[in-house]
Amino acid sequence: MNGGRPITDDDLQGYIDDAIDSRRRAEVEAYLADHPQVAERIALDRALRGAMRDALGPIADEPVPAELNLSRLIDRHQRQRRNWRSGPWQVAAALLLMVMGGVGGWGLRSAQEPPRAGIAALAQEATDSYAVYAPDMGRPVEIKAADAPQLIQWASRRLERPVSIPDLSGAGYSFIGGRVVPTPHGPAVLYMFDNGKGTRLTMLSRNMAIDRDTPMKLGNAGRVTSVSWSRDGLGFSLVGPLGEAELHPIADVARAQFNQAI
């Protein structure tokens, strides 16, 4: 027994992790020499540490997948910021107006606000609904899939036209239910889908006053992507935490089904 500070469990942990200075280390070693049972335990801890490092070390040598390519992620982030705020042309136009001394630059304010109408507004509403309802673990939907006819009846009455639920099971997403949600452009119906692995998609659908027939448009907001289109005055926007390459084909399937249904 040495006369120094008593050896603590923290010292032993530090010894196992090579995280103590050499003086303390010598003290721990002296202690272990006097206490073979503790020494045995610590030897096993060290062996386990080595085995863990051997087993898990190689994971960090695996090639990094393309989705985790940092420069790509940064690129995308910057593109999104530009899209969110204003394009280079709007900046140039605003500068020109300011140079000319006009107050017109003020009018460009609206370009920086969320879209107020049309398919862009629909995409925004769909993204907002996704953000609120999709992560909801307790009550993501008001009417469950089992009561789908009830949902269709409710939504058809509120939208004043027949609606139908797309079948995305081919892509691995089963319908879990839905609800009617408010938008600045009247009631919309929200359908929710889940792939059983925690990934959810939602589809928002409502009547369109403008942009009544538009081809598919892609949107991005953070981690979620939206694919939006309209036909015969009914707008659709599919939203999910997937890349364009994954989400677009699912939207194609849904659109084909709606086109048949109409």
Partner 1 sequence: MLLVEPLIPRLRRYARVLLRDSVAADDLVQDCLERAISRWHQRRADGDARTWLFTILHNLAMNRLRQTARRGPHVPVEDASPATIARAPDQEAGIHHRDVMQALDRLPDDQRAVLLLVTIEELSYVDTAKALGVPIGTVMSRLSRARARLRDEITGRDKPAAPYLRRVK
17 touches partner 1 (CB under 8 A): yes
Site for partner 1 in 85-124 (CB under 8 A): none
**Residue 205 region, left (φ>0) first, then alpha (ψ -120 to 50), else beta?**
beta
Buried b (16+ CB within 10 A) or exposed e, 108-119: eeeeeeeeeebb
The answer to the question of residue 137 lying near partner 1 (CB under 8 A) is: yes
* Closer residue to partner 1, CB minimum distance, 133 or 258: 133
Taking CB under 8 A as the criterion, the residue among 139, 223, 245, 260 binding partner 1 is 223
- When the beta carbons of 25 and 231 are compared against partner 1, the nearer one is 25
For 240, the token pair is 């999910």
Per CB under 8 A, the segment of 15-23, 26-34, 119-127, 167-175 that binds partner 1 is: 15-23
Decide whether 54 or 113 has the Cβ nearer to partner 1: 54
What are residue 227's phi and psi, to 5 degrees?
-125, 120
Nearer residue to partner 1 within complex by CB, 50 or 172: 50
- Crossing angle (nearest 10°) for helices 22-34 and 9-16: 110
Please name the helix (run of DSSP H) or strand (run of DSSP E) that holds residue 51, with its range, or none.
helix 36-56
Residues 188-217 that bind partner 1 (CB under 8 A): 197-198
Instruction: Give which of 139, 126, 145, 134 is closest to 230, Cα–Cα.
Output: 126
CB closer to partner 1 out of 166 and 219: 219
Shortest gap between Cβ of 19 and partner 1 (angstroms)? Answer: 7
Q: How far apart are CA 260 and CA 207, in angstroms?
A: 18
For CA atoms 147, 153, 157, 162, give the dihedral sign.
Answer: positive
* Residues 135 and 222 sit within 8 Å (Cβ to Cβ): no
- Asked if 49 is part of the footprint of partner 1 (rule: CB under 8 A), the reply reads yes
Residue 245 touches partner 1, criterion: CB under 8 A: no
Residues at the interface with partner 1 (CB under 8 A): 9-10, 13-14, 16-17, 19, 41, 44-45, 47-62, 64-65, 67-68, 70, 73-74, 77, 137, 197-198, 222-223
